[in-house]
Structure 1
Amino acid sequence: MRLITLALACLLLLIQYPLWLGKGGWLRVADFEAQVNEAHRKNAELIARNAKLDSEVRDLKDGTGAVEERARYELSMIKQNEIFIQIVGKGQAAALAPLAPKPAESPEH
């Protein structure tokens, strides 16, 4: 009787092996599900990026506003008869201070 129980326990373990560690086992399925979820997340990011790039391309093709904006901010271009005024903040003013001309000192008599 004891030999039959031991043999059945071994058969049960042999049957469980493919279920857990085999080609279509639960561990492998869980790994594939994680890979699929990662791929879906990456695809969603790429779809959002493509939509943004598509709208930017459409704007550059159809309108002049986007081209003008890029020329102003990236190339510092201005229109003819236009005055450029730059407002410098506190942090930028300290960085530009060494570049500013120093006031002339008054001569002592």
Structure 2
Amino acid sequence: MKRLLVAILVILLLVLQYRLWFSDGGLVKMWQLSEALEVQKQENARLLERNRALEAEVIDLKQGLQAIEERARTELGMVKKDETFFQIIDEPKTAEAGQ
């Protein structure tokens, strides 16, 4: 009778251990979710930093004329009155020129 009781308890322990380690809510799944959480935290930190930089740029564009002038010059090629614009174009390198 004791052997049967011990065998039942061992089988029950094995079943519970299996569920603890390998079921959907088990430790393996918990470790995977912990790793995914760390990756997401890093991504969130990167995006938060990007958002702060964009927010600072928006504030600068709303308040300061220097940022608007810089954007107009670099992106639109605008120049002030009485300024001369010079554009330097490099000639494309060909494979024959190097030989």
TM-score, normalising length: structure 2: 0.77
For structure 1, the residue ranges without an aligned partner over 5 or more in a row are 96-109
Deviations along 1:22-53, one digit per CA (max 9) or x if unpaired, are 34311111011012112101110110110110
Alpha-carbon distance in 1 for matches of 2:28, 2:45: 26
TM-score, normalising length: structure 1: 0.71
Alpha-carbon distance in 2 for matches of 1:62, 1:93: 41
Task: List structure 1 runs of 4+ shifted beyond 6 angstroms.
Answer: none
Q: Identity rate of aligned residues, in percent?
A: 41
The amino acid that maps onto 2:28 is L
| Cα RMSD (Å) | 2.1
Alpha-carbon distance in 2 for matches of 1:44, 1:94: 42
Count of matched residue pairs = 92
1:10 aligns with 2:11: yes
Other structure's SS at 1:56 match = helix
1:37 equivalent in structure 2: 38
Larger of the two Rg values belongs to structure: 1
How far is 1:87 from its partner? 3.6
The amino acid that maps onto 2:62 is K
1:94 aligns with 2:59: no
2:54 equivalent in structure 1: 53
Other structure's SS at 1:18 match = helix
